[in-house]
Chains A and B, each alone.
Chain A
Amino acid sequence: MARGAVVAEPVKQEKQPPRLAQRILSLSIPISIREQLIGDLIEEYYIFQAPERGTVAADLWFWKQTILSTYEYLNKQQGGIIMFTISLFIFVAIIALAMVMGGELGIFIDIPILLITLLPAIAFAIASTGKNTIKASFKYLFSEQSHPGEASVKNAIRFWTVFGNTSVLMGWILFFIALASIGSTLFTDPTHHHVIASSGFVTKSLMYASIAKLLGYVCSQRIERLFSGDNT
Chain B
Amino acid sequence: MSDKNSHLGEFEHLLLLALMQLGGKSHGTLIRHNLKDLVNRDASIGALYATLERMEKKGYVTSSVGEPTAERGGRAKRYFEVTAEGKKLLKQTKKNLEVMWQGVQLWQNL
Are B33 and A29 touching (Cβ within 8 A)? no
Taken residue by residue from 60 to 93, chain B's Cβ proximity to chain A (1 for < 8 Å, 0 otherwise) reads as 0000010111111111111000000000000000
**Which of B13-21, B42-50, B102-110 contacts the other chain?**
B42-50
Say whether chain A's binding surface is mostly helix, strand, loop, or mixed. helix
Tell whether A36 is near chain B: CB-to-CB under 8 Å.
yes
Cβ contacts under 8 Å, A40 to chain B: 27-29, 32, 45, 72, 77
A186 within 8 A of B: no
Q: Does B25 contact A (CB under 8 A)?
A: no
In the complex, the answer to whether B78 meets A65 with C-beta atoms within 8 Å is no
CB distance from A40 to the nearest CB of B (A): 4
| A41 is an interface residue with CB less than 8 A from chain B | yes
Chain A residues with Cβ under 8 A from B74's Cβ?
7-10
List residues of chain A with CB within 8 A of the CB of B71. Answer: 11, 43, 46-47
| Residues of chain A with a CB closer than 8 A to B67's CB | 5-6, 8
Which B positions have Cβ atoms within 8 angstroms of A? Answer: 27-29, 32-33, 44-47, 49-50, 53, 57, 65, 67-78
CB<8 Å pairs between A and B, sample of 19: A2-B65, A5-B67, A7-B74, A8-B67, A8-B69, A8-B70, A10-B73, A33-B78, A36-B75, A37-B45, A39-B72, A40-B32, A43-B29, A43-B71, A43-B72, A44-B32, A47-B29, A69-B47, A73-B50
